[in-house]
Amino acid sequence: MSDAPLLLIEDIPSLQLVYRAVLQRAGLAVDTATTAREGLEIFRKGKPDVVVLDMMLPDRDGLELMQELLKIRPGTRVIVITANGTISRAVEAMRAGAHEFLVKPFDDQRFLHAIENARAALRAPLPAEDEEVATAPTGDFIGQSPAMKEVYSRIRSVARSMATVFITGESGTGKELCAQAIHRTSNRAEGPFVALNCGAIPADLLESEVFGHLKGSFSGAIADKIGAAAAADGGTLFLDEICEMDLNLQTKLLRFLQTSTIQPVGTSKPRKVNVRILCATNRDPMETVRRGQFREDLYYRLHVIPIHMPPLRERGDDVIEIAEKLLRRFSREEQRHFTGFSDEVKEIFRRLDWPGNVRQLLNVVLNVVVLHDGTLVTADMLPLDLRRSDTRQAAQAPAPKAAPDLNMLAGKTLAQIERLVIENAIERHNGSVPRAARELDVSASTLYRKREGWQKSGDAAE
């Protein structure tokens, strides 16, 4: 990290003066610019490590300027500033490489936290650039399928940012493992990792679990309680099953994201915390927004960097690698002598749909190890319901597909045809985006992104 002043690019003179004063009071040297042209010139000469960039500049689009700055010096940490009505632009900037974004109006402490986080990221050692390393398993993950290599690469690319990561995937695919891997790879790895399952806590207790409470603030509050947000101060807060959160609490979570301030139940005194938010759901988040179960503004505030965890059935031979590791572990724990699986069992594992994903595979392997012993796991050792499921799948021949009626597509644009195909696939799979994505041979995140675009545009498929 250099000793160069940070660069503030803000075209409104009054705001520039305010931001500069805040930074200087904190002992930080700062250069200022009011236009993109001036900012670029100072950036080239001064070589700042941290840039605070307003997205709305009079002479150039802020996103374009940021991309040029990062092209000149990729290690620069850019904090973008946006108005509440243009959060989508800030999200776009985050996906293009910004370190963090702030929504106007923000307070001094939130501003300084963002600068502190950016400078801390600069002090952390840079990850290896080697492609093999970038796509190697991280955290507790096992497997080298193309789908998982994409996940590993995404984890490493987002870990050192402050961007909120929204993890989607079916139950049992490893969403919490993904969150833990992001935390361990980030510059917050020495801080706490706090996980909270929003779907497992009654709605009337969830606010207390997230933000804490004071003794006597409600019936049953027999002592002060520190909430998950405060417990994660300096580290990472993982909100699992975020779409199950009560709507009233969603409002408070949105405020927390905007201000970094928490207010425990029963107190009027707010508290600042420095927390990175990761969240996950096994539902289609856009569908919950459409149904009014999840706030749209909170969705766009959280859905900055999406990561989709692929189901086990789409991971090829990863299922064998995972099963073999589990077999060695359980055999050691249960004092058994298994060393591997028969070829027949491996073929069964490859054929199965695994609706419960890795969690189901773990239960199957543990069942075998507890109830049997030997050197190789054979098909007759597998649970009966698993063998029956494999028999049913093997007996089901794919139905012949009728030739499509292309006349119904006449007069439609390519975009309209694409939407019809995608929505038809999702409907055939009873609303399951991951299954529709598998059929269409695209990632589920692609379909989520397209549906998000359709909702924002308000266009209807005709």
Question: For residue range 258-280, what is the model confidence (pLDDT) as tens digits?
Answer: 888 898 988 888 888 999 999 99
Question: What pLDDT is recorded for position 132?
Answer: 53
pLDDT at 120 exceeding the cut of 70: yes
Assess whether pLDDT exceeds 80 at residue 313. Answer: yes
pLDDT at 459 over 70: no
CATH class of the domain defined by 6-123: alpha beta
DSSP 292: T
CATH node for 132-308? 3.40.50.300
For residue 106, what are the contacts with CB-CB under 8 A and spacing of at least 6?
258, 259
* Residues in Cβ contact with 398 at an 8 Å cutoff, skipping those fewer than 6 apart: none
Query: Residue ranges of the domains in the chain?
Result: 6-123, 132-308, 313-395, 406-457
Express each pLDDT in 386-434 by its tens digit.
988 877 776 664 555 555 566 777 778 888 888 888 888 888 877 777 7
Residue with tokens 């021949």: 397
Structure confidence at residue 2 as a pLDDT band (50, 70, 90): low
Alpha carbons 204 and 209: distance in angstroms, whole number: 10
Closest CA to 432 of 168, 167, 177: 168
Whether the CB-CB separation of 390 and 352 falls below 8 Å is answered with yes
Asked whether the domain spanning 132-308 has the same topology as the one spanning 6-123, the reply is yes
Longest dimension (CA), the chain: 77
Question: From the CA atom positions of the chain, what is the Rg in Å?
Answer: 25
For residue 105, count other CB atoms closer than 10 A to its CB: 11
> Looking at per-residue confidence, does 51 or 449 come out higher?
51
Q: Of 282, 286, 290, which is closest to residue 308 (Cα–Cα)? A: 282
Please, which pLDDT band fits residue 124 given cuts at 50, 70 and 90? low
Report the mean per-residue pLDDT for the chain: 87
The per-residue pLDDT for 253 is 92
The amino acid at 343: D
**What predicted TM-score, i.e. pTM, was given to this entire model?**
0.74
Instruction: Starting at the earlier edge strand, list the strands of the sheet with 6-9.
Output: 30-33, 6-9, 50-54, 77-82, 100-103
Dist. CA 150–CA 282, nearest whole Å: 19
Q: Select from 1.20.810.10, 1.10.8.60, 1.10.260.40, 2.60.40.1940 the CATH code of 313-395.
A: 1.10.8.60
Percent of the chain with pLDDT over 90: 55
**What are the residues whose beta carbons fall under 8 Å from the beta carbon of 294, sequence distance 6 or more?**
242, 243, 245, 247, 250, 285, 288
Over residues 184-241, the pLDDT tens digits come to: 999 899 999 999 999 888 878 888 999 998 988 888 888 888 999 999 999 999 999 9
Q: For residue 53, what is the enclosing H or E element?
A: strand 50-54
Q: Which two tokens stand for residue 454?
A: 């359709």
CATH topology of domain 406-457: Arc Repressor Mutant, subunit A (1.10.10)
Residue 436: CB atoms within 10 A of its CB come to 22
CA dihedral for 161, 166, 167, 171, sign (positive or negative): positive
- The whole-number pLDDT of residue 404 equals 58
**Structural contact between residues 302 and 288, judged by C-beta atoms closer than 8 angstroms:** no
